[in-house]
Amino acid sequence: MMGETPLIGSTGFSMERLALAAAGIGLIVAGSRLLQRKRADLQGQVVLITGSSRGLGLALAEEFAQKGARLVICARNTRELEQARHMLAQQGTEVLAIQCDVTDREQVRQMIDHATEHYGQVDVLVNNAGIISAGPLQTLTQEDFTESMDIIFWGTYNTTMETLPQMLQRKNGRITNIASIGGKVSVPHLLPYASAKFAVVGFSEGLHAELAKDGIAVVTVAPGLMRTGSHINAFMKGSKHREEYTAFTLLDTLPFTSISARRAARQIVSATQRGSAEVIISVQAQLLARFHGLFPGITADILGVTDRLLPSSQGQGTDRYSGKESETAVTRSFLTALGQKAVKTYNQTTV
């Protein structure tokens, strides 16, 4: 019996520590949820959205405008940018359009200075600019990876670092980074895109942790497939680019594999108002992320099987083709009607 006493005491001590730990975790979770309930009022706020002349960026601009925000939109193509500015202005939105290549730090600096001079400050930054190059590994070049990293990751870095000083000075601001489910689960034939989006996720999650004490909320957004019309401006690699584009377009536009851009934009704006750490958009993306989190090995094996169903890489070469150059009878058929509508709705003129 004497030998059992320390065991009982030790067990009691362990249980006490366990209870305290559980209570601490509960307080952290409760505190996190409490912070998330404090929704930002976007009325009169200045929201800068990169890559906002078309697609999801334009859908986000429309949604922020409906909340009363004043907008700064930017893109590289001046014609598309002016078309987007006109569309938003017709809806009664106060909007400033600035031509900018987010891969160029000096251009980004000038854009932020212009926006700040015009409106006084930038309250919300949405990093959305991106590019998609799809194809088997053997068709991809180092330039494909460099371009994706430059636009998706370094573009996000450049705009964030140029906007951050004024937010830190005010001890207030929001940064929403549009990553992707492809930044959590790397899928076949999208390696440059996934690599860059993984980098954005790491950068964004680290920013959320480091900037919370400064009153700045950083939101990581991981959308699944969305009907933004972006398929028409994606790049397909190799001689089987038409087969690649057909598969890509069907997945990107069919209603049971994708969600509407407007619905996605509403969720992103809501998450920005809450200052959520992360939001994964679409049921399909949420299921994939959770399954991968629980069973990463099985997920990788399943994706390996999926890769065998995609166009073969043998003898393809590394040439790049636009969506317009890759269209087929299927991609122009009733099967992609929702995608074709999105192309027109969200200013997706072809490159």
Per-residue confidence (pLDDT) for residue 350, from 0 to 100: 56
Q: What's the rounded Cα separation, in Å, for the pair 326 and 174?
A: 39
In a domain, 40, yes or no: no
On the question of pLDDT at 96 being above 80, the answer is yes
Residue-wise pLDDT for 264-275, tens only, equals 999 999 999 999
pLDDT, position 212 = 96
Predicted pLDDT at 30 = 47
pLDDT level of residue 347 (50, 70, 90 thresholds) = confident
What confidence tens digit (pLDDT) does each residue in 16-36 have? 665 565 555 655 554 554 444
For residue 19, tell me if it sits in a domain: no
Residue 312 has pLDDT above 70, yes or no: yes
The answer to whether residue 16 is domain-embedded is no
**What pLDDT is stored for residue 19 in this prediction?**
53
Query: Has residue 1 been placed in a domain?
Result: no
Range of the domain at 121: 45-345
Catalytically active residues, by annotation: 193
3-state secondary structure the chain: CCCCHHHHHHHHHHHHHHHHHHHHHHHHHHHHHHHHCCCCCCCCCEEEECCCCCHHHHHHHHHHHHCCCEEEEEECCHHHHHHHHHHHHHCCCCEEEEECCCCCHHHHHHHHHHHHHHHCCCCEEEECCCCCEECCHHHCCHHHHHHHHHHHHHHHHHHHHHHHHHHHHHCCEEEEEECCHHHCCCCCCCHHHHHHHHHHHHHHHHHHHHHHHHCEEEEEEEECCEECCHHHHCEEECCCHHHHHHHHHHHHHCCCCCEEHHHHHHHHHHHHHHCCCEEEECHHHHHHHHHHHHCHHHHHHHHHHHHHHCCCCCCCCCCEEECHHHCCCCCCCHHHHHHHHHHHHCCCCCC
C-alpha distance across the termini of the chain, in Å: 83
pLDDT at 37: 46
Which of 23-27, 234-238, 308-312, 344-348 is predicted least confidently? 23-27
- Looking at the domain assignment, is residue 3 inside a domain? no
| pLDDT tens column, 250-301 | 999 998 899 999 999 999 999 999 999 999 999 999 999 999 999 999 999 9
In tens, the pLDDT along 64-91 reads 999 999 999 999 999 999 999 999 999 9
Question: What average pLDDT does the segment 49-55 reach?
Answer: 95
User: For a pLDDT cut of 90, what percent of the chain falls above it?
Assistant: 77
Asked whether residue 10 carries a pLDDT value surpassing 50, the answer given is no
The verdict on residue 37 lying in a domain is no
pLDDT at res. 126: 98
The per-residue pLDDT for range 167-176, each reduced to its tens digit, is 999 999 999 9
Mean pLDDT of the chain: 89
pLDDT category of residue 316 using cuts at 50, 70 and 90: confident
What CATH number is attached to the domain comprising 259? Answer: 3.40.50.720
Condensed to tens digits (0 to 9), the pLDDT of residues 222-260 reads 999 999 999 999 999 988 999 999 998 999 999 889 999
Number of domains within the chain: 1
Position 29 in a domain: no
In a domain, 184, yes or no: yes
Give me the pLDDT at residue 142, please. Answer: 96
Mean pLDDT of 122-147: 96
